[in-house]
């Protein structure tokens, strides 16, 4: 207890130095706690599901020759029952389906949302947490379960259980209300119903489906001790024996050469790096590793502050150590004393950090694009993480100062009256260099990310994205899609504020392009190559403002173009296609004009293999993000495969145009809520990951500089205090205020200049590796590195300027009157 009281008094007497150290540690520990919460959530996904280690999702990898490899979690609907019947090691097999549906509200505007349908056992398998009602009632196809979020949206604050909700014009009875899925789950939906419910599309054929035509997720619960790898082979054998491909494998290869089945444990699903459609995205392991590493460096900077200020004051503490040794204190007692000081300092900083975490949790979650669940801090494992962190901080911040101060010899210290400068200034300089090196690397990284983001957002994409609205939810069967999109086109076109309307299979904001095989008609089949393909309406190029460089684009004026809207007769016509300039070169044409009028063999699938005529060539546009090289592209009219509509509006009549779209949509799809987005907004959102990286690195760079500034401030204050006599003597000998200030500037500039030399090569390598993830990127500019270094230098000099001026203006007599 006496040691504790002495420690508390000593910390209180430290004043400014103690305040700077505790503030630095508080900031560092706050960042560390956020990093730990984020890392805990990312590494403990789906931990709320019982037996998550035994519950597996069937994973399908398809490596079609000359096509991009696809990894899916969707399987044929008949797979679950087949593998369950053939394998006793499977305890349960359930299926889950997803689809977009419209929630019909009597007194408000309808809206679209993802609903899930499942085999009845699914709710028990994932231990669906109910707030009210009974999850077993999902066995009734007329019953539905809603999340608390959906129930409040539909029914407000009324009790929803027993009420009727209308979905896709079908009345369903609410059987229960379940808790929203945790943010740490690969699953997220607000509506759950039986897979045999009337509104579930394809329910009639799902039990016999071996073509994987709908998003069917197959979950297998393995028995204790079952070998997942061996079981995956058995599942693959069943899959390969019964799977019905829509087209033969090119080259006559067997199916097992292109299809690979694996079982992914739900507990490991988030960290396997696979981005499955319809499921929450996997962990960004690179972001997790980088954020964790930077957080460790921030904590290290904070610990260095304490070390620097402790060693800077070592002469002052040396008298204390000498006297205590003369009084009989052993070195181990002194080491314990200094470690106890570091522990109390870290403990105070930790309490402040906990308050900061509570206050800043929402903002940190926004920065990291996730919801941070602070309740994980009560988990035993997380407490162990925290204990290890605090132990590391105490040892890192206190071990070296404790060893240094306890090593002083009383006779030597007392004989020179404690005068002189610390012999360990070189170590302090090295640590200051490290602090500012980290800050400069982070500041340079922020500058590079910012410039790449500005470049990507402002670059010419090759088309006009402004004032184009995307309308989703128009895909049906081929014939119905043609009829539906044509009716929507006619219903919206010609209304106030509408410039043009077009349908398409894909949007540039999706960062995805389907692929097909193509070759010149005069070439052999083996000379075909893979090309990106997009089916478009006749007004597509006009809507996006894309002008041909040779030939023409599609138009109502040409019978072959119009004829593609007739499913029965279009196969008798040549398919008109428009290619981009890269495709023209890939096909071997000397120039774009030479390609016009040439014939191609265009193979989308076995039932869509058409003779095609090139009617035009357009520029290479960025139909995918800047991370991907523009590929050869072919555009062709195929209204049977449209997924969305594009509407260009008059920007001077925006309100009228939006109302025109709503009215036209309601005429055709009165029971389906409109789902829309601006193309320009969707494109910007495509770079949200880079924007989030920019925000995170910028904040961490600022915090790193701030923490380093705390250390500089304390060192400058101590330097000014300890050099009062030196400065006074210089002034007596004729030094001016400017000379003294220059002396301080040079002293505190040298570590920052050294930090620049250390940081710049590291920053160059790191930013170059990051930029290499983009096919189209900015060139590295040396000015970014210089500005980051100058920013650190400016902050360092501004921090010590006040102390330098105060020391320089002090009258010599105040320091020398007792000499």
Question: What are the C-alpha distances in Å from 535 to residues 198, 502, 596, 645?
Answer: 32, 11, 19, 12
Reading the block at residue 118, the tokens are 């499942």
Closest-CA residue to 221 (of 115, 97, 127, 99) = 127
Which residues have C-beta within 8 Å of that of residue 691, sequence separation ≥ 6?
453
Closest-CA residue to 505 (of 673, 685, 637, 677) = 637
**What is the percentage of the chain residues whose pLDDT exceeds 90?**
29
Closest-CA residue to 441 (of 306, 304, 293) = 293
pLDDT tens figures, 461-508? 889 989 999 998 888 778 888 999 999 999 999 999 999 999 999 998
Indicate whether 455 pLDDT > 90.
no
Indicate whether 818 pLDDT > 50.
no
Indicate whether 683 pLDDT > 50.
yes
CB 505 within 8 A of CB 699: no
**Banded model confidence at residue 418, pLDDT cuts 50, 70, 90:** very low
CB 649 within 8 A of CB 497: yes
pLDDT tens figures, 66-83? 666 778 888 898 999 999
Closest-CA residue to 294 (of 702, 686, 730) = 702
| 644 vs 6, higher pLDDT | 644
pLDDT of residue 332: 66
Query: In the chain, how long is the greatest CA-to-CA distance?
Result: 110
| 665 vs 19, higher pLDDT | 665
pLDDT tens figures, 337-360? 777 777 888 888 899 999 999 999
CB 135 within 8 A of CB 128: yes
For 210, which DSSP code? -
| 422 vs 5, higher pLDDT | 5
**Banded model confidence at residue 807, pLDDT cuts 50, 70, 90:** low
Reading the block at residue 499, the tokens are 């410039």
Lowest mean pLDDT among 14-23, 132-141, 545-554, 599-608: 14-23
Indicate whether 419 pLDDT > 50.
no
pLDDT of residue 420: 43
Per-position DSSP letters for 379-411, written without gaps between them? SHHHHHHHHHHHHHHHHHHHHHHHHHHTT--HH
pLDDT tens figures, 93-103? 999 999 888 88
Tell me the CA end-to-end span of the chain in Å, nearest whole number: 40
**In terms of DSSP H, where are the helices of 145-273?**
148-155, 228-242
CB 723 within 8 A of CB 743: no
Question: Average pLDDT, whole number, for the chain?
Answer: 82
DSSP SS3 for 198: coil
- Identify the bridge partners of residue 173 per DSSP, sorted by sequence position: 143, 164
Distance CA 561, CA 536 (A): 11
What number is the average pLDDT over the span 663-674?
84
| 806 vs 41, higher pLDDT | 41
pLDDT tens figures, 275-292? 888 888 888 787 788 888
Indicate whether 411 pLDDT > 70.
no
**Banded model confidence at residue 54, pLDDT cuts 50, 70, 90:** very high
Distance CA 768, CA 781 (A): 11
> Any idea where the domains of the chain sit in the sequence?
1-45+291-423, 64-271, 430-460+687-819, 468-685
Closest-CA residue to 506 (of 515, 498, 495) = 515
Reading the block at residue 233, the tokens are 């082979």
CB 622 within 8 A of CB 478: no
Only one residue has tokens 């050099």, namely: 723
pLDDT of residue 504: 93
pLDDT tens figures, 9-35? 555 555 556 677 778 888 889 988 998
Closest-CA residue to 166 (of 119, 107, 121, 122) = 107
Which residues have C-beta within 8 Å of that of residue 734, sequence separation ≥ 6?
none
What number is the average pLDDT over the span 300-311?
75
Greatest mean pLDDT range, 265-279, 544-558, 692-706: 544-558
């Amino acid at each position: 207890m006496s040691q504790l009281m002495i420690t508390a008094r000593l910390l209180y007497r430290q004043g400014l130095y103690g305040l700077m150290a505790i503030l630095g540690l508080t900031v560092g520990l706050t960042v560390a706690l956020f990093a730990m919460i984020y890392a805990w959530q990312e590494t403990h996904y789906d931990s709320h599901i019982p037996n998550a280690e035994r519950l597996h999702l069937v994973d399908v990898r398809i490596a079609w020759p000359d096509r991009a490899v696809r990894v899916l979690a969707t399987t044929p609907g008949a797979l679950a029952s087949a593998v369950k019947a053939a394998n006793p090691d499977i305890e349960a097999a359930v299926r889950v389906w997803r689809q977009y549906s419209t929630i019909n509200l009597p007194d408000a505007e309808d809206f679209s949302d993802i609903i899930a349908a499942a085999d009845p056992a699914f709710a028990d398998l994932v231990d669906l947490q109910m707030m009210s009602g009974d999850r077993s009632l999902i066995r009734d196809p007329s019953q539905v379960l809603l999340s608390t979020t959906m129930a409040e949206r539909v029914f407000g604050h009324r009790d929803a259980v027993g009420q009727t909700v209308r979905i896709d014009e079908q009345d369903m009875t609410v059987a229960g209300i379940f808790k929203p899925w945790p943010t740490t789950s690969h699953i997220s939906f607000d509506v759950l119903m039986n897979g045999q419910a009337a509104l579930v599309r394809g329910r009639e054929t799902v039990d016999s489906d071996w073509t994987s035509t709908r998003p069917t997720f197959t979950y297998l619960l393995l028995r204790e001790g079952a070998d997942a790898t061996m079981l995956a082979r058995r599942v693959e054998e069943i899959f390969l024996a019964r799977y019905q491909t829509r087209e033969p494998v090119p080259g006559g290869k067997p199916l097992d050469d292109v299809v690979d089945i694996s079982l992914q444990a739900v507990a490991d699903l988030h960290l396997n790096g696979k981005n499955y459609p319809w499921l929450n995205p996997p962990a960004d392991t690179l972001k997790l590793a980088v954020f964790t590493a930077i957080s460790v460096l921030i904590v290290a900077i904070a610990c260095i502050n304490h070390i620097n200020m402790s060693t800077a004051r070592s002469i002052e503490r040396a008298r204390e150590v000498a006297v205590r040794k003369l009084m009989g204190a052993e070195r181990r007692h002194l080491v314990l004393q200094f470690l106890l000081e570091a522990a109390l300092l870290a403990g105070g900083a930790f309490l402040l950090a906990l308050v900061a975490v509570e206050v800043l949790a929402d903002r940190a979650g926004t920065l990291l694009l996730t919801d941070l669940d602070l309740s994980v801090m009560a988990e035993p494992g997380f407490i162990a993480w925290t204990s290890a962190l605090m132990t590391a901080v105490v040892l890192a911040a206190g071990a070296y100062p404790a060893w240094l101060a306890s090593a002083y010899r009383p006779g030597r210290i007392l004989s020179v009256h404690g005068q002189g400068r610390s012999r360990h200034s070189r170590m302090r300089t090295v640590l200051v260099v490290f602090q500012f090196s980290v800050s400069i690397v982070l500041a340079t990284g922020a500058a590079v990310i910012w410039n790449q983001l500005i470049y990507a957002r402002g670059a010419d994409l090759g088309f006009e994205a402004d004032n184009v609205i995307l309308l989703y939810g128009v895909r049906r069967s081929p014939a119905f899609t043609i009829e539906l999109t044509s009716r929507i086109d006619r219903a919206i076109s010609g209304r106030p504020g509408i410039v043009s309307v077009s349908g398409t299979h894909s949007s540039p904001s999706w960062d995805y392009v389907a692929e097909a095989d193509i070759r010149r008609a005069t070439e052999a089949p083996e000379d075909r190559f893979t090309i990106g393909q997009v089916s478009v309406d006749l007004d597509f190029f006009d809507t996006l403002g894309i002008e041909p460089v040779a030939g023409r684009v599609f138009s109502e004026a040409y019978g072959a173009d119009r004829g593609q809207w007739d499913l029965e007769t279009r196969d008798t016509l040549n398919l008109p296609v428009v290619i981009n300039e890269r495709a023209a070169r890939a096909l071997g044409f000397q120039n774009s004009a030479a390609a016009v009028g040439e014939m191609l063999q265009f193979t989308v699938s076995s039932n869509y293999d058409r003779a095609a005529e090139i009617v035009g060539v357009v520029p290479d546009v960025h139909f995918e993000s800047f991370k991907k090289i523009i590929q050869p592209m072919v555009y062709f009219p195929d209204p049977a495969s449209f997924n969305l509509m594009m509407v260009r509006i008059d920007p001077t009549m925006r309100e009228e145009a939006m109302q025109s779209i709503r009215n036209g949509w309601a005429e055709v799809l009165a029971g389906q809520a409109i789902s829309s987005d601006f193309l320009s907004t969707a494109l910007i959102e495509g770079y949200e990951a880079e924007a989030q990286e920019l925000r995170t690195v910028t904040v961490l760079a600022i915090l790193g500089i701030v923490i380093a500034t705390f250390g500089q401030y304390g060192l400058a204050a101590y330097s000014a205090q300890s050099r009062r006599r030196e400065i006074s003597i210089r002034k007596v000998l004729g030094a001016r205020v400017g000379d003294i200030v220059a002396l301080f500037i040079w002293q505190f500039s040298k570590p920052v200049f050294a930090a620049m030399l250390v940081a710049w090569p590291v920053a160059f390598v790191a930013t170059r590796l990051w930029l290499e993830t983009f096919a189209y990127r900015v060139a590295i500019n040396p000015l970014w590195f210089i500005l980051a270094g100058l920013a650190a230098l400016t902050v360092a000099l501004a921090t010590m300027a006040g102390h330098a001026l105060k020391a320089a203006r002090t009258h010599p007599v105040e320091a020398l009157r007792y000499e």
